[in-house]
Amino acid sequence: MRSPCYDREKGLNALHSISAWSSERGLMLAQKKVDSKSNEIKAVPLLLKLLNIKGAVVTLDAMGTQTEIAKQIKQGEGDYVLALKGNQGKLNKQVRDWFKQAVAQNWQGIEYSYHEKTEKGHYRLETRQVWTVSINQLSALHRQNQWVGLATVVMVKSKTQFGHKTTETFRYYIISLPTDAERHSHVIRSHWSIENSLHWVLDVTFNEDASRVRQGNAADNLGLLRRLSINLLKHEPSQKSLKMKRYLAAMDNNFLLQVLAASSRE
């Protein structure tokens, strides 16, 4: 979710929008403007209506973990991976407590899928462990029948070493797909690609947060144009950085035509 600056003197609220991002293609698919962060939940169903999600796996932050949203995704013939946090208090506690008990008894008598991966970079070592379990092995979950298609619960343990400091975090998810820890690990990891592939590019390459344009729909329209530009530049096959591609497209009409032609070939 993007929250560009706002104008206190003119009493304009911060501009918010939510984006649908294809982690597989590295492209923004759709965007909806919302009046405030508190209205983000209302915008998610509207955003989903813009998309053909048949056969797709939809991942959402915890704010999108709502029974009606899960139902909408399944009705669209998609699948969901939804994060559990405090907004689903009882369900969140049930899943957390169940996994704690499973670990305490060393998973005895429990069928589960497990995947582990370690990555190193930027002086940081991170190990992610993923356990997935069919809901058939759990006692009835809170409002379970309202979560259309719910099939699997997931625990992700991330252990990060940075210098002499080590941190551990646990995250929990509900999923409409069968247990497959390796696949779910990839999907959950890919969910965060929007931070590096879209949000970071908007900040660094397009300097969006520093934009002073706020009148009327101008900020929202410019936001759409920036995201459209990112999509076009990503289709251009050269190994140049997005920042360099943007500069060349502005200065060289031949390269600009090359960018547009690359998009038309998809």
82 touches 175 (CB < 8 A): yes
Average pLDDT, stretch 128-150? 94
Q: Is the pLDDT of residue 4 over 50?
A: no
Q: How confident is the model over 169-204, as pLDDT tens digits?
A: 999 999 999 999 999 999 998 887 665 656 556 666
Q: Which of 152, 87, 139 is nearest to 113 (CA)?
A: 152
Q: Is the pLDDT of residue 234 over 60?
A: yes
At position 179, the amino acid (one-letter code) is T
Q: Is the pLDDT of residue 227 over 80?
A: no
Q: How far apart are CA 21 and CA 60, in angstroms?
A: 11
Which residue did the predictor score with more confidence, 225 or 2? Answer: 225
**Of 42-51, 150-159, 168-177, the least confident:** 42-51
Of the chain, the percentage scoring pLDDT greater than 70 comes to 82
Which residue did the predictor score with more confidence, 105 or 234? Answer: 105
R_g of the chain computed on alpha carbons: 21
Domain boundaries, the chain: 79-189, 210-264
Residue 258: per-residue pLDDT: 86
Indicate the pTM of the whole model.
Answer: 0.75
